[in-house]
Amino acid sequence: MTKHQFQKNVFYFIKVCFPRIKQVPFHWDGMLYTLQVYKPRIHYLMVQWDNPDEGWVRCNMDGASKVKPRMSSYEFCIRDSKGNLIDGKAHNIGFNNNMEAESIATLKALVYYLSQNLLHIHLETDYLGIINMIRGV
């Protein structure tokens, strides 16, 4: 690999790995200086669990599996308006993919909710596929 090819590869590496750097000079000194003075901006969002309103319960659920069908599990817990744990379940569910594990978690939580004659429930999951299915998107 020639010096020019290597320089070109470094240039494209910077463009791909640091997309917030708008202008990357092509010469060595400029690329080095750009990387030395670059200060990444860190963005964060604070997520906090809140108690549901009086008369409501909150159900947090999750399913877990490896990328390919592997041993998987689900869990859910239901809390009242004071944050007290009403009940929770967690089980291994055999070989499933992540979507199946998340779907089983949702199903098991809803079956439990209906069996207990709870009136109002907030469902919380981190799986966008389940959220979109529930919303009909």
End-to-end CA distance of the chain: 50
**Residue matched to tokens 């981190």:** 126
Side-chain half-sphere of 8: how many Cα atoms within 13 Å? 5
CA 128 to each of CA 17, 54, 71, 137: distance values in angstroms, whole numbers, following the listed order: 26, 27, 21, 10
pLDDT 10s digits, 22-32: 888 888 899 88
* Domains, in order of start, for the chain: 3-37 (no CATH), 56-135 (3.30.420.10)
Side-chain half-sphere of 123: how many Cα atoms within 13 Å? 23
* pLDDT exceeds cutoff 90 at 90: yes
* pLDDT exceeds cutoff 80 at 67: no
Tokens matching residue 17 = 């790995």
